[in-house]
Every structure is written in C-alpha cells, then in structure tokens.
Structure 1
Amino acid sequence: MHEIDLLSNIGLSIVAATFFALLARALKQPLILAYLAAGIVVGPKIGFGLIQDEASITLISEIGLILLLFIIGLEIDLRKLLSAGRTLIVSGLSQFLICAALGIGFFSLIGFDLRGGRFDALYLAVAMALSSTMIVVKILYDKFELSTLPGQITLGILVFQDIWAILFLSLQPNLMSPGASIILLSFVKGAGLVLFSLAVSKYLLSHVFSFIAKIPELLLVTAIAWCFLISGIAGEVGLSKEMGALVAGVSLSTFPYNIDVISKVTNIRDFFVTLFFVGLGLQIPVPTASLLAYAALASLFLVATRFLSVFPILYSMKEGLRSSLIPSINLSQMSEFSLVIASLGLGFNHIDSQVVGILTFVFAITSVASTYMIQYNHEIQLRIAPVLEKFGLKDIDRQSSTGEAVEQPKEIVFLGFYRETSSVFYEIESMLDENGVPLAKKVLVIDFNPVVHCELNKRDVKCIYGDISSVDTLMHAHVNHTKTLVCTIPDTILRGTTNEKLLSLSRRLCPQARVIVTANTLQAALNLYQQGADFVFIPRIHSAGLVARVISDSLHENLEHYREEEMTHLLARKEVLD
C-alpha cells in the first residue's frame, strides 16, 4: 500500500509540476517558482491536501538534491577561479562576508534567534547573501552580456558564492556544538575530503575516464557512482552528504569530459530536482500577514545589501559607476541554493518551517523582480548614476578626462570598443597617414569598459569613459569636429542604443563626417545604407572570402601552411581585448 501511495504521489507531483511549469513558461517566470507552486497546491498545509505523505516525496527528492549539488560542482571552473583578477577576488571574498554580517545584525534586530540551539538569524543571513546562478546566467546569456565586463564580474562573484556555500555546508552539521575545536575539526574534515577527492580525481579517475570516454552509458554511471561515493564518505565522517556531492563535482570540473557528464546527468537530475522543489512547496506554511511582511522586508533588505556589498568594493577599485552598479543589480535575488541550505537546516532542527516559508516567499519575490531588473539593468543604472554623481561619486571619465579633446579633436572616433573593434584597431595601429603620422594618433575611443580605458591609455590613445547612446557624452567628446565615426559593434551587443540610432545621432551632430556602422543581416545593412550610412560592416560577409578560399584549398592540399601562418600571426597580435 505504501509503495502504491509513493508512486501515485510522485506521479501527482510531476503532473502538477508540469502544469505550473507550462504556465510559468507562458508568463516568462522561473520554473523553480512553478515547482514550488505545484507543491503548495497539492500539499496539505495550504493546498487541496492531495498529497499527505510528505516523507515519501522528501525521500526521493534528496537524490535530486545530491545530483543538483553535483552539477553545481561540475560547473565550478577552478582554473578560472584561480586565475581571476584582483577585482573578482576582492569582490568575491568580501560580498558574502558583508552581506552575512549585515544579515545577522538585521535579523537579530527584528527578533530572530541566534541562541539556545536556534540559528534563524544565521540561516536567514547566509541565504540572503547568495544569488541565483540559474536565473542570472540564463538572462545574461539571452542578453549577450556574459562576456561583457559587468557580466564577467557578476559570474565571478557567483562562483565565489558557491565556495562560501561549500564552507557553510561543511559547518552545518556541527552548528549545535560550535566550539573552536569542533569548527576546526569540520574544516579539517572538509579540507581532507577535498584533497582526497582531487588526488583520486587526478591520479586515478583521469585514467578511468580516459578509458571509458567512448562509452556514454559507462561514463554516466561512473560519474554518478563517484558522486554518491564521495557523498557517502562525507556522511560517514560527519559532514553533509550534499557537501560531498558538491566536492565530487568540483573534483571532476577540470576534466575534458565534464561537459559531457553535465549534459547526461542533467536529464536525470531535472526529474529529481523537480520533486525536491515540489517537496519544499509541501512544507510551506499558511502565509500569515506577519510571514508575508517579513518576506517583503527581507526582500528589500536583500536588494539593499547587494548595493552595499558590491558597489562600494567595485567603485573603490576604479571600475566606474556603470561596471559597479550593473553587477549589484544583476545579483539582486536569492539563490535556489539558499532553499537547499534552508531545507537541510530544517532537517537538522536548526530552524523552523516559518523561516523556510519566509525564504521561499523571498525567493519568489526576488526571482520575479530580478528578472525585470536584469532585463533593464542598463536603464536602471542610467537612472541611479546621476543621483550618485550628485553625492560626489564621479565616473571614470569625470575623474581622468582632460581638455585634450577640445584642443586636439580626433579625426577618427570609435563609438564603443568590443572584440571586433579591438581587431580593427590593431590593424590601424600599423598604418600611417599620407604624412607618415601613425593613424592611431588620430583615434578617439568612447566606451565604458575600464579595462579598455586603462589599456588604451597605456598605448597613448585617447579614450573617454562614457555611454555612446548619450548626446552629452558625444558633445563632451567634440565629435562634431571628427572626420570619421565608426561603430563595429552589432545591435545584439549594444545596450541602450542601436546602429540605426547611432547613425541618426551622428548625422545630427556631425553631418560632414563619414559614418561606418555594423549590421548582422543583409536587410539591416540595406536599411542602414538607405538611411545614409557611408559603409556598413557585415562581419560574416567581410570575413567569408578568406574562409571560402581556405575551404577551396583544402580539397587539393593540406592546410599546414595556413595553420602555421595563423598561429604565428595570432601569437604576434597584442590586441586591447583578447
């Protein structure tokens, strides 16, 4: 009878989750919210009571939790983390600590316990300090912003948050007896598990995976076996099984097969993770007025602490207003990982169901809100920056610009500077004008990437830190005196403007200038020509000739000479952006 109930409960959970997932998809909301809603509707506390045996779903969903953390570990790139720049390291280390410290103080102040075996304030603080990798990466990927400077800073902080979460998971089982020796022992056990996993991974698993790499089923089974092995070892030594799964994933993250493992495990994980969040929804208490008030207050606190913990650090490291504000906006939501930590805390009796309920509603509120905040992060940044400037926080262009633009107007102005621009500028650096003057001396770049700003200054190239969609920025740069205006950035990368708008603005400010803009499609290029563009750069067309020639040559000769020439050429190129 129990087995029949288990199967029917699982089936009902999946059907309900699917229905709400389809609804969430139509409304463009995170799927996790749909799974939580499904648990609430079919559960015994708020919903229709279609599922009474919560333990059966919770038992199955624990497998999904372990697989979820295994996947998160696989996606943590240790090499990128170790090679991260100073800005990422400082902001990644400080953000969590600042948010957690502010959280403990705030939640203790409004009445949550941190004594007598209860850790409500601590769990709320830790949960508020973590942001959603799933939501942030998805939206930034859709907006083509993952490779931008604010996108890279955002991703770097998310990776460090995962590391902080691992440390908290290692301490979680021993919070009831947090003596110095116990905490030290937990760190030793955690470090020992990490070192053991990395050593076995390097000296044994690397050979095993190389041997079975061409057998997909065996690759999947071996990866999952490794996950549950390390998870089991972690449980035996007094650490959480979930932490063991995370460590198992991290130990495989540098393998060339990790992408393949992720793609295979993801399908299995999604089934169990769905049950995990449905199970979490089953445990949500009836939302009282006080619970909703706490959730709303905590959501506002979360957004505020992102600005208090991220913006000052980045701004103090000379990243400018834009690159300091946008990561703060991007990270203004609670992580699904926080719900995992809260669920484990409930199992350890560290917190009660009210705290889980508050965190669930905070997750729902901030997930929906941040979806729109990230979507319109540039517009929000443009509204906040002038307010900060009134309080004396100057942007990079205001701090370092001189009167050079007025005295020596540049003949070539690049509107924005991205990878295509970097390559074009590299070619220009080797050119001379008719009088033998280096062409690069005639260039002015307008862009809001501090890395570009710094590198161009080293090359003695004039660069103004500013927004190319702003008339004030272009007037400040005195583009009305230039001969050629260039934008080699496609509309998919531009934010707050388009090539069409830049063309129109350029014609209004400097009608005598030649204007070069960029398009990705033939129709867009024709439209730009019809609106007065002097030349339209179409990357795929203007690079097609070389590739076609290489393909043709490959039919009757090997491509070794191309390969050698290209490698030599690439090694010699020292562009502003890699």
Structure 2
Amino acid sequence: MDFQWIAIALGDVTWISIAFVLGLLSRAVGLPPLVGFLAAGFVLNAYGITSGVTLERLSDLGITLLLFTVGLKLNLRTLAKPQVWAVTGVQTGVTVAVLFMVLTVMALAGLPLAADLDWPQALLVAFALSFSSTVFVVKVLEQKGEMKSLHGGIAIGILIMQDIAAVIFLAVSAGKIPSPWAALVLLLIPLRPVLHKLLERVGHDELLVLYGFLLAMGGAELFEMLELKGDLGALVLGVLIANHPKADEMAKTMLGFKDLFLLGFFLSIGLSGALTWETVAIGVLLTPFVFLKGALFFALLTRFRLRARTALLSSINLTNYSEFGLIVAAIGISSGWIGNDWMVAIAVALSLSFAVAAGLSTVSQPLYTKYRNRWKRMERDDLISDDRLLDMRGAKIAVIGMGGVGTGAFDMMRERDGDVVVGVDIDPQTAANQREEGRHVLHGDPSDSDFWDRMQAGHSLELVMLALPRHATNMAVLEQLKAAGFTGRIAATARFQDQVEALEEAGADTVFNIYREAGAGFAAHVVGRNAERDAGQ
C-alpha cells in the first residue's frame, strides 16, 4: 500500500494549523481571518517553505468558486441603477488616475520598488488598488444583518461591477485566441430552463452543494476547452441561475467552501515573495489612500441622489483594498509585467486597509449621528424614491421585520385592532411582496436615526414590535427609539436568555423568547386541536 499521501497530509497539516492560529488571532482583534492567512503565508515563506501542488489547486478552485458566487449575486436591476454603474465607472477612473500619479511621483522620488516602475506597470498597480473587497464587505453586512438594506445593496452592486471589470481583465490578459467553437457557449442560454429545473429538484442539502460545484467547475472546464478563460465560465454559469429563487440559498451554501479554498490563494500570496522593509514601507504608504476612495464614493453617491446616511454607510463599507486586486497582481506577475515584490506590497496594503475598514465599520452609526448636520448638508433635495423617508399614516402599532414571525404578529394585531398596524422591512422586495398580499408594509431601515426622527414628528405609534432575526439589529433599533424620545411600549423577540436580559436592560417592555415560547405554543396548539376533535366525536 502506498503511504505517500500520509506525508502530504502531515505537510498540509502544518500550514493549515498556522493559518488557523493566525486566522483566529486576526478575528480576535476584529479583522477578517484572511488577514491571518496572508500573515501565515509570510511566516511560512520566512522559513523557506514554498507553495506546493495542493496549495495551487486550492487557490485555483477558490478563485473559480469566488467568481461563481459573484455570478449568483448578479442582479441586473440593481446594476442598472446609475448609483451603481455610473458611480463605479467614475470612481474607478478617478482612483486609477490618482494612484497612477502617486506611483509616478514615488518613482520619480526614487522610492524602493516604485523606482523600477514604468508607466504601464504603474497603471496596472493602480488598477489593482482601485477595487474594494467583496469578501470583507459581505462579511460585515452579514454580521450586521444589513445585506438587504439600501446601503448594503448599493455597496454590493458596486462590488459586482468592480468584479466584472476584474473578470474582463482576467479574460483579456489570458491572451488566448478563442476556438472557432467558442460561439457554442451561446447554447447555454436555451439550456437555462434545464439548469433551473435541476436546481428545483436537488433539495437543500448535499446535492445542492454538489450541484454548485458541478456548475462552477463544469463552466470553467467548458470555457477552457473552447480556449476561453475558465474563471469566466464559472461566472457565466452563476449568472445563468442568478434570478432563480434558490440562487441565494446556493450562494450561502457555497460561501463556506469558497472561503475555505480561498485560503490556498491567500497563503500562496505570502509564499510568493519575502516580506521586506521595502514592501512593508510601500504597503504602509499606499494604505491612507483608502480614505480617498471612501471620500470619493461618498461624494459621488450623494450627487446621485442618495441620502447622506446611505452614502456614508456604503462608502465606509467600500473603504478598503480588495482580494481581486491581488488576483489582478498575480496575473501581472505570471505575465511578467510586474515583480513579485509588488504582490507582497499590495498584500500589506490590503491587510492594513482591512484594519482601517473594520475600525470605521464599528463606529459608522455614531460617526453619522455625531456629525449628522454636516453630512446632511451634502444631500440633494431630489432624493431617489427608495431613499425617501416614509409616513406611518396614523398607525398605532408598528411591526419591525416582516419575516415569518413579523408577518404572524402583523396579522394577529390587525385582526384584533383593525387597520392601525404598519409593517416595516429593510428589504424592498419583502415589503413589495407584503403589499401585494394586502398588508400595509413600508420599506425602510429602522436602525436609521433619521427614520425615527421624521416619524416621531407626526406619528401616533403606541406600540413597536421588534421581530428582527438578529439580536444586534434589535438592539440598534431600541437605541434609535430611545434617541428619538419614543414614549410608547416596545416589545421584542429573542432566541436566547442572555438576549432577553440584554433587550430588557436596553428598554424593551416585553421580550418574547422564540425558542422557549414556541414549545409552549406548539403544545397549546396540539391540546386545542385534540380537544376540538374530542368534542366533535
């Protein structure tokens, strides 16, 4: 029996262990684990360890899955908004131009690494630094429960536009002449209903994961066979099923696998070159320019008729450099356009930018609240319809969060008190669906201080019921209600006893423990139905 695989496994355990420890330390200080993975690569490089076949395959698969999940999130209606495509285009152009000039000045000043750059190389590095991190932003929005907020949707849309630009660069940089059979990829379009039908049949478990891998890797392999960039094939297959109701579920299912395999990519970055004083110095010098990116995003988004708060939160999310920049740099290195040291310098700038972005994300709400008058002076008067504050129209009861629990609460209160109930949901599609079913539901962000300030001036609310899925969001809404001087009753939902205690301390009059009370409700329902059945007999 061949035991060679044991030696390979033991070697892999070493770098996996180091990556795990440094990733854990990174998370402990509030940074994404990928910062620790980059550091692990530098540590391994310092001990003379080089990238092996296993790591390279993990890296390739991680990039393929990344592009597939980008395709799954591609919403053409969101991308069609000028706040997305126009802002992305202008911001990318200005950022590339400014960073190109900065790198040119560094070259003229004779700084290490920069002194050897010619203008095409400087342009490539500036382009790599113009992206913002999809991985970082998605993680932050998911942790805050803001993926479906307006500012979250705008940020994700901009990131997808940037990712598309990166994919186009990857396809062009491959330098391949497509096969005469390349036009056959158009046959994937009529195949779309078949792909959707299969997605409906695979269920919600391991077959869903396997189908995702099949689409991502199958699309990549098909495009490679036709002399097209394989990663582009993964993106196209993701786009083909992006509007299916289960596409979001597949994206969430694939997220963990994508992050796991991207471990190989981030480790390989650290292993690709030594961490020197020169690369660290250049990385440190490039880091402050993320503030330029954030300021530019804010200025553009307010000019495109978004409220100051929406523009600020979107901009803070985008104030960082991107893992796609590393992918662009890797292409430049493999093509011989730039040296390995620039990959390391960009990795340093990326890691430091995540530290900056993590800090800004933590204080984003207080930052807006403290300087609200200054931010609001930059708003336009003609805001887009999605970002206008709404009128409660005399409602006495507001249900915040119109998921399953919120919908049940809305119906029960309306049945008891009549049409004095209003629902509020952060997801515009959920709000629209609820209105189609006859419920008075508004689209809005209840954690927005402006939302409650405006409502407090004219509403007649006596009871606010918080049915939000995330404890942190419930706490944020409670804080805004207190800040707005709301004097009515507040009820909230929680899943765990420590959350119940925290909500009560924050000012909630009544807290409903979903897990505990659901069991009692279930038992009461069964007893009631049995009593009805016995009475009928």
Kept after mapping to 1: 8 A contact 2:321/2:350: yes
Residue number in structure 1 paired with 2:402 = 419
Deviations 1:250-275 (CA, angstroms, capped at 9, x unpaired): 44656788688778877776665333
Work out the CA distance in 1 between the residues paired with 2:531 and 2:375. Answer: 63
- Report if the CA contact (8 A) 1:417-1:447 is conserved: yes
Q: In the aligned structure 1, how far is the partner of 2:505 from the partner of 2:218?
A: 65
Q: Which residue type is aligned with residue 97 of structure 1?
A: G
Q: Look up the equivalent residue of 2:130 and give its one-letter code.
A: A
Partner of 1:90: 82
1:179 aligned partner: none
Query: What is the 5 A alignment of 1:59-458?
Result: 59-76=53-70, 81-84=75-78, 89-112=81-104, 119-174=120-175, 192=183, 195-200=186-191, 202-203=193-194, 220=210, 224=213, 227-235=216-224, 237-251=226-240, 272-289=261-278, 291-309=279-297, 311-389=298-376, 418-419=401-402
Cα distance in 1, alignment partners of residues 453 and 200 from structure 2: 55
Deviation at 1:429, TM superposition (A): 8.7
Q: Check whether the contact 1:447–1:467 (CA below 8 A) recurs between aligned residues.
A: no
Flag the 1:552–1:26 CA change in 2: closer, same or farther, 3 A.
Answer: same
1:516–1:341: structure 2 CA closer, same or farther, 3 Å change rule?
same
| Contact 2:59–2:263 (CA under 8 A) maintained in structure 1 | no
C-alpha deviations, 1:31-76, integer Å up to 9, x for none? 2112211111121xxx232x2xx3x52x443422332233234434
SS of corresponding position for 2:265 = helix
Question: Is the CA contact 1:298–1:362 (under 8 Å) kept in the aligned structure 2?
Answer: yes
Quote the Cα distance in structure 1 between the aligned partners of 2:467 and 2:253: 36
Contact 2:396 2:462 in 1 (8 A): yes
Alpha-carbon distance in structure 1 between the residues aligned to 2:130 and 2:332? 16
Determine if contact 1:499/1:518 at 8 Å carries over to the other structure: no
Pairwise CA distance, 1:333: 1.7
Q: Is the 8 A contact 1:64 1:272 kept in 2?
A: yes
CA distance in 2, matches of 1:213, 1:410: 42
CA contact (8 A) 2:85 2:161 kept: yes
**Structure 1 residues 330 and 210, CA, compared in 2 at 3 Å: closer, same or farther?**
closer
Higher mean C-alpha displacement, 59-68 vs 356-365: 59-68
Q: 1:33 to 1:467 in 2, by over 3 A?
A: closer
What is the identity, as a one-letter code, of the residue corresponding to 1:515?
A: R
From 33, 36, 44, give the equivalent of 1:34.
Answer: 36
Change (3 A) 1:361 1:189: farther
Structure showing greater radius of gyration is 1
TM-superposition CA deviations, 1:483-541 (whole Å, max 9, x none): 8364646663246562697299445xxxxxx53443537888799889998x6374959
- Residue 110 of structure 2 is matched in structure 1 by none
Aligned-partner Cα distance in 1 for 2:153–2:319: 16
Q: Supply the distance in 2 between the matched residues of 1:390 and 1:446 (Cα, whole angstroms).
A: 27
Q: 1:29 to 1:219 in 2, by over 3 A?
A: closer
Question: What is the TM-score with the length of structure 2 in the denominator?
Answer: 0.71
Q: Does the Cα contact within 8 Å between 2:447 and 2:477 map onto a contact in 1?
A: no
Per-residue CA deviations over 1:89-122 (Å, capped at 9, x if unaligned) read: 3233124322321233123212459999974333
Q: Measure how far apart 1:246 and its partner are.
A: 3.3
Q: In structure 2, give the amino acid aligned to 1:304.
A: L
What is the distance in 2 between the residues matched to 1:463 and 1:6? Answer: 54
Tell me: CA distance 1:28–1:313, structure 2 relative to 1, closer, same or farther (3 Å): closer
For residues 522 and 233 of structure 2, the distance between their equivalents in structure 1, rounded to whole angstroms, comes to 48
RMSD (Å) for aligned C-alpha atoms: 5.6
Aligned AA (1:484): E
Aligned-partner Cα distance in 1 for 2:192–2:431: 42
CA distance in 1, matches of 2:306, 2:227: 43
> How far apart in 1 are the matches of 2:462 and 2:15?
62
- One-letter identity of the residue aligned with 2:34: I
Distance 1:538 1:68, change over 3 A: same
Aligned to 1:493: 473
- Partners of 2:199 and 2:208 within 8 A in 1: no
Partner of 1:536: 510
Verify the 8 A CA contact 1:70 1:247 in the aligned structure 2. Answer: no
C-alpha contact (below 8 Å) 2:74/2:239 kept by paired residues:
no
Residue 371 of structure 1 aligns to which amino acid in structure 2?
Answer: A
Q: Partners in 2 of 1:80 and 1:329 — Cα distance?
A: 22
Measure how far apart 1:231 and its partner are. 2.9
TM superposition score normalised by structure 1: 0.67
2:78 aligns to what SS in structure 1? Answer: coil
Per the TM alignment, residue 365 of structure 1 is displaced from its structure 2 partner at its CA by 0.8
CA–CA distance in 1 between the matches of 2:484 and 2:388?
Answer: 29
2:479 is the alignment partner of 1:502: no
Residues 197 and 349 of structure 1: CA distance in aligned 2, closer, same or farther (over 3 Å): farther
**2:457 aligned partner:** 477
The 1:451–1:265 alpha-carbon spacing in structure 2 relative to 1, beyond 3 Å, is closer
Deviation at 1:466, TM superposition (A): 9.7
Contact 1:73 1:246 in 2 (8 A): yes
SS in structure 2 at match of 1:493: helix
2:18 to 12, 16, 19: 16
Give the whole-Å Cα distance in 2 for the aligned partners of 1:96 and 1:152.
14
* Deviation at residue 168 of structure 1 after TM alignment: 2.2
How big is the shift at 1:327? Answer: 0.9
Change (3 A) 1:492 1:416: farther
Q: Deviations over 1:420-463 (max 9, x none)?
A: 88987889899999xxxx868xx9x999999999999xx99999
- Report the alpha carbon displacement of residue 124 of structure 1 after superposing the two structures with TM: 2.9
Contact 2:217 2:234 in 1 (8 A): yes
Cα separation, partners in 2 of 1:272 and 1:449, compared to 1, 3 Å:
closer
Work out the number of aligned pairs and report it. Answer: 509
Cα offset for 1:247? Answer: 3.3
Runs of 5+ consecutive residues of structure 2 not aligned to the other structure? 108-113
Question: What are the Cα deviations for residues 325-378 of structure 1, in whole angstroms up to 9, with x where unaligned?
Answer: 111111222222221222122111222223212210121011122123223321
Q: Which residue number in structure 2 is paired with residue 48 of structure 1?
A: 47
